[in-house]
Amino acid sequence: MRILLAEDEITIVITLRDALEDAGHEVVHAADTGAALAALEREDPDVVLTDIRMPGEGGMAVLKRSVELDQRRPVVLMTGYGTIDQAVEAMRLGAVNYVQKPFRNESLVQMVGTFSRVRALEQENESLRARLRSAQAPGDFVGASDAMRAVFDRIRTVAPTDATVLIEGESGTGKERVAQALHAASTRAEGPFVAISCAALPETLLEAELFGHERGAFTDARKEKKGRFELADKGTIFLDDIDDMPLAMQVKLLRVLQERRFERLGSETTRRIDIRVVAATKVNLRDHARAGKFREDLFYRINVVPIVLPPLRARAGDVPLLVAHMIERHGNGRKYRVNAATMAALERYPWPGNVRELENAVQRAIALCEPAGELALADLVPLDPRWRGAMEVAGPVRPLREVLKEAERRHIERALEQTGGHRSQTADVLGISRKVLWEKMRDHGLLAQDEPNESA
Ligand X SMILES: Nc1ncnc2c1ncn2[C@@H]1O[C@H](COP(=O)(O)OP(=O)(O)OP(=O)(O)O)[C@@H](O)[C@H]1O
Residues that bind Mg ion (CB under 5 A): 176
Question: Which of 14, 75, 18 has the alpha carbon at shortest distance from 48?
Answer: 75
Residue nearest to ligand X (CB): 174
Neighbour-count burial for 42-56, b at 16+ CB within 10 Å, e otherwise: eeebbbbbbbbebeb
- The one among 79, 83, 173, 250 contacting ligand X by CB under 6 A: 173
- The one among 58, 143, 212, 331 contacting ligand X by CB under 6 A: 143
Contact predicate 196/214, CB 8 Å: no
Pairing of strands 97-100, 75-79: parallel
Torsion of CA 314, 320, 322, 328, to 10 degrees: 170
Nearest residue (CB) to ligand X, 121 versus 199: 199
Give dist(CA 341, CA 344) in Å, integer: 5
Nearest residue (CB) to ligand X, 209 versus 241: 241
Contact predicate 137/154, CB 8 Å: no
Catalogue the E-assigned strands of 121-207: 165-169, 193-197
Query: SS3 helix, strand, coil % of the chain, rounded to 5?
Result: 50, 15, 35
Nearest residue (CB) to ligand X, 113 versus 139: 139
- The one among 59, 169, 227, 350 contacting ligand X by CB under 6 A: 169
Q: Which stretch binds ligand X (CB under 6 A): 36-44, 171-179, 367-375, 409-417?
A: 171-179
Q: Is 243 in the site for ligand X (CB under 6 A)?
A: no
- Quick note: the x/- pattern for ligand X over 263-302, rule CB under 6 A, is -------------------x--------------------
Give dist(CA 143, CA 133) in Å, integer: 18
Phi/psi at 420 (nearest 5 deg)?
A: 70, 25
Give dist(CA 363, CA 232) in Å, integer: 33
List the interface residues with ligand X, window 322-351 (CB under 6 A). 325
Pairing of strands 165-169, 305-309: parallel
List the interface residues with ligand X, window 348-387 (CB under 6 A). 355-356, 359
Among ligand X, Mg ion, none, the one that 142 touches (CB under a kind-dependent 5 to 8 A) is ligand X
- The one among 45, 172, 310, 350 contacting ligand X by CB under 6 A: 172
Give dist(CA 167, CA 175) in Å, integer: 6
Q: Is 155 in the site for ligand X (CB under 6 A)?
A: no
Among Mg ion, ligand X, none, the one that 288 touches (CB under a kind-dependent 5 to 8 A) is none
Work out how close the CB of 388 gets to ligand X at its nearest, in angstroms, rounded to a whole number.
Answer: 24
Among ligand X, Mg ion, none, the one that 414 touches (CB under a kind-dependent 5 to 8 A) is none
Work out how close the CB of 138 gets to ligand X at its nearest, in angstroms, rounded to a whole number.
Answer: 11
Nearest residue (CB) to ligand X, 195 versus 231: 195
Give dist(CA 175, CA 147) in Å, integer: 14
Reported residue count of the chain is: 456
Nearest residue (CB) to ligand X, 211 versus 294: 294
Among Mg ion, ligand X, none, the one that 434 touches (CB under a kind-dependent 5 to 8 A) is none
Q: Which residues bind ligand X (CB under 6 A)?
A: 140-143, 169, 171-177, 282, 325, 355-356, 359
